[in-house]
Amino acid sequence: MSIVWLFLGSIFVNNILLSRFLGCCPFLGVSTKSETAKGMGVAVIFVTVLAAIVTWLVYNLVLVPLKLQFLYTLSFILVIAALVQFVELVLKKINPVLYKSLGIFLPLITTNCAVLGVAVINMNENYSLLESAVNALGSSMGFLLAIVLMAGIRERIEHNTNIPQCLHGLPIALVTAGLMSIAFMGFSGIIK
Amino acid sequence: MISFAGIAYPILVLGSLGLAFGALLAFASIKFFVAVDERVSKIREILPGANCGGCGYPGCDGYADGVVNAGAKTNLCAAGGSDLAKGIASIMGVEGESSEPVRAFLKCKGSPDFSVRNADYVGVRDCRSAAIVPGGSPNSCPFGCIGFGTCVKVCVFGALSIVNGLAMIDPTKCVGCGTCVANCPKSVLKLVPRSSDVQVTCNSNWRGPDVKRVCTAGCIGCGICVKACQVGAITLNANLASIDASKCTNCGACAAKCPAKCIGSVMPEELKASA
């Protein structure tokens, strides 16, 4: 049962974007169209789950036995960068359709701090392999949820003529992001 | 106390991790090799590589891919001109569409000598931010060139500069990609055929008296040029004369009659010599 709560908690209560404020760059950068936002979100789910599993293995099977835990940042970045490259190569071969739909977002995710953030959270919380994977799945689905909501709102704002011109574009997007974050704060405390 | 093992160990572990991943990637790149249509890399090679985006694709790689896989036209690269269009067409094995070479042109003569500056703007020195202040421009004419050089910043070919408060285009460097036109908040830049000579050098839609109040070199919308034109190439839209370059014979009859002296020969000397 606790796995279910962990999953729901990582989507809503500890939303990676709106509560933990990780991955804000793509959140603002690729949220102008809901189509591309969806692509980004799906790519993030894909990479985050894989990265969480691999980083868990590297941390617990390599770094901990050798007492080199302090190397986690460096090795996690290494893992994520290599993994993204690897996934890109494999996808290009075995699933060109998915590769095409993820497009430019796949390589961009290498520098998405949400991916690294989830790996580090898993480590700090001492999650098991299963819990890590579930937390990664939930967190990245939370990312998808937040970025798609944001894109939907921004698409509507785009056509709203009541907004003063000086707020057009990024300023109003930042205000929106703040309000969304406040809204998500409403979930806090529901699940511990 | 720093021990040798304390340094060597992490280096060894990280190094071998990196090596392992590197080997994995090298293996994967061979195992999962995907044959790319060789025409894509061939086209990419002859493209200028400035990634200006004038073709409408994200960079030269995107355009090369678009030509081969998405049926994009072969003449979209303004920077490469007609020679490049021919090259792409021959790689693709199709009959090439010819492309009329174009260049950027500034529809404004309103330097401080002709048009007063209204305000001393102290914000970000960028036309795009200056254009959103109340009034639409720090200059008295809200249609004219602001002269803060947004076009200079976005031009990857270094063809623009600001001279006496106006954007100045170096015709030998301008390839007609249209990036400056797309980024100009006043839409005072436009693309004209490279061979075009006589143009209206004003962008104002105001009525004559209003234009005269703010600029002594602006189009007052009198319509004398429309009558003077023998081939009917000039029309008057919203108090502004515009010349249809496809009909214009560059005879200069309109320029001779224009009371505001805002129509004239605009072809730079460098181009006239080669024409």
Q: Do residues B132 and B240 share a domain?
A: yes
Tokens matching residue B275: 């024409």
Give B97's pLDDT tier (boundaries 50, 70, 90): low
ipTM above 0.90, yes or no: no
Average pLDDT over residues B185-203: 88
| Cβ contacts of B25 on chain A, cutoff 8 Å | 82, 85-86, 89
> Greater confidence, A187 or A161?
A187
Nearest to A66 among B13, B24, B28 (CB): B13
The CA-atom distances, in angstroms, between B85 and each of B39, B95, B156 are: 14, 10, 20
- Per-residue confidence (pLDDT) for residue B19, from 0 to 100: 93
Q: Per the CB < 8 Å rule, is A93 touching B34?
A: yes
| Cβ contacts of B132 on chain A, cutoff 8 Å | 165-166
The CA-atom distances, in angstroms, between A99 and each of B35, B62, B107 are: 15, 15, 45
Check whether B275 has a pLDDT greater than 60: no
**Residue B33 CB partners (closer than 8 Å, separation 6+):** A93
Angle between helices A113-124 and A129-158 (to 10 degrees): 150
| Cβ contacts of B3 on chain A, cutoff 8 Å | none
In a mutational test of the A interface, the residue from B7, B29, B34, B129 whose CB has the highest number of chain A CBs within 10 Å is: B34
- Per-residue confidence (pLDDT) for residue B270, from 0 to 100: 67
- Per-residue confidence (pLDDT) for residue A36, from 0 to 100: 79
Q: Do residues B64 and B181 share a domain?
A: no
Check whether B158 has a pLDDT greater than 80: yes
Give A192's pLDDT tier (boundaries 50, 70, 90): low
Among residues B92, B120, B155, the one where a domain terminates is B92
Element (H, E) at A184: helix A170-185
Average pLDDT over residues B196-203: 88
Quick one: A24 exposed, middle or buried, by C-beta within 10 A (0-12, 13-18, 19+)?
middle
> Greater confidence, A104 or A182?
A182
- The answer to the question of residue B21 being in a domain is no
Residue of B nearest to A96 (CA): B34
pLDDT tens by residue, A133-178:
999 999 999 999 999 999 999 988 887 778 888 888 889 999 999 9
Q: Do residues B163 and B266 share a domain?
A: yes
Among residues B55, B70, B92, the one where a domain terminates is B92
Give B273's pLDDT tier (boundaries 50, 70, 90): low
Exposed e or buried b per residue across A112-146, where buried means at least 16 C-beta atoms within 10 angstroms of its C-beta: bebbbbbbbbbbeeebeeebbbbbbbbbbbbbbbb
| Cβ contacts of A74 on chain B, cutoff 8 Å | 14
Among residues B92, B117, B133, the one where a domain terminates is B92
**Residue B14 touches chain A, beta carbons under 8 Å:** yes
- Per-residue confidence (pLDDT) for residue A149, from 0 to 100: 93
Q: Residues 65 to 104 of B: which have CB under 8 A from any A CB?
A: none
Nearest by Cα to B260 from B213, B212, B228: B212
Q: How far is A149 from chain B (nearest CA, A)?
A: 26
**Residue B24 touches chain A, beta carbons under 8 Å:** yes
**Average pLDDT taken over every residue of chain B:** 84
Q: Do residues B46 and B136 share a domain?
A: no
Distance CA B216, CA B113 (A): 9
**Residue B29 touches chain A, beta carbons under 8 Å:** yes
Q: Do residues B69 and B111 share a domain?
A: no
**Average pLDDT taken over every residue of chain A:** 87
Nearest to B17 among A78, A90, A165 (CB): A78
Q: Per the CB < 8 Å rule, is B28 touching A68?
A: no
- Per-residue confidence (pLDDT) for residue B98, from 0 to 100: 63
| Cβ contacts of B6 on chain A, cutoff 8 Å | none
Q: What are the sequence ranges of the domains in chain A?
A: 2-185
Q: Do residues B79 and B202 share a domain?
A: no
Q: Do residues B146 and B194 share a domain?
A: yes
CATH of the domain at B77: 1.10.15.40
Distance CA A103, CA A39 (A): 8
Check whether A179 has a pLDDT greater than 90: yes
The full 3-state SS of B173-236, as one line of letters, equals: CCCCCCHHHHHCCCCCEEEEECCCCEEECCCCCCCHHHHHHHECCCCCCCCHHHHHCCCCCEEE
| Cβ contacts of B33 on chain A, cutoff 8 Å | 93
Give B152's pLDDT tier (boundaries 50, 70, 90): very high
Q: Do residues B147 and B258 share a domain?
A: yes
* The total number of structural domains that make up chain B: 2
- Per-residue confidence (pLDDT) for residue B1, from 0 to 100: 63
Please list the alpha-helical segments (H only) found in A33-71.
Answer: 34-58
CB B160 within 8 A of CB B151: yes
Give B99's pLDDT tier (boundaries 50, 70, 90): low
User: pTM of whole model > 0.80?
Assistant: no
**Residue B27 touches chain A, beta carbons under 8 Å:** no
| Lookup result for tokens 């931010």 | B129
Tokens matching residue A33: 């169209």
- Per-residue confidence (pLDDT) for residue A133, from 0 to 100: 94
Q: How far is A50 from chain B (nearest CA, A)?
A: 15
Average pLDDT over residues B143-149: 90
- Per-residue confidence (pLDDT) for residue A51, from 0 to 100: 92
pLDDT tens by residue, B101-113:
788 889 998 888 8
Q: Do residues B139 and B218 share a domain?
A: yes
pLDDT tens by residue, A17-46:
898 889 888 888 888 888 878 888 888 898
pLDDT tens by residue, A42-78:
888 988 999 999 999 999 998 899 888 888 999 999 9
Nearest by Cα to B109 from B222, B11, B265, B215: B215
- Per-residue confidence (pLDDT) for residue A1, from 0 to 100: 64
| Cβ contacts of A92 on chain B, cutoff 8 Å | 32, 34
Q: Per the CB < 8 Å rule, is B32 touching A85?
A: no
Q: Do residues B188 and B150 share a domain?
A: yes
CATH of the domain at B111: 3.30.70.20
Check whether A128 has a pLDDT greater than 90: yes
pLDDT tens by residue, B45-54:
888 887 777 7
Average pLDDT over residues B66-94: 80
Check whether A119 has a pLDDT greater than 90: yes
| Cβ contacts of A90 on chain B, cutoff 8 Å | 28, 32
Range of the domain at B204: 102-274
The full 3-state SS of chain B, as one line of letters, equals: CCCHHHHHHHHHHHHHHHHHHHHHHHHHHHHCCCCCCHHHHHHHHHCCCCCCCCCCCCHHHHHHHHHHHCCCCCCCCCCCHHHHHHHHHHHHCCCCCCCCCEEEEECCCCCCCCECECCCCCCCCCHHHHCCCCCCCCECCCCCCCCCCHHHHHCCCCCEEEECCEEEECCCCCCCCCHHHHHCCCCCEEEEECCCCEEECCCCCCCHHHHHHHECCCCCCCCHHHHHCCCCCEEEECCEEEECCCCCCCCCHHHHHCCCCCEEECCCHHHHHHC
Angle between helices A129-158 and A170-185 (to 10 degrees): 130
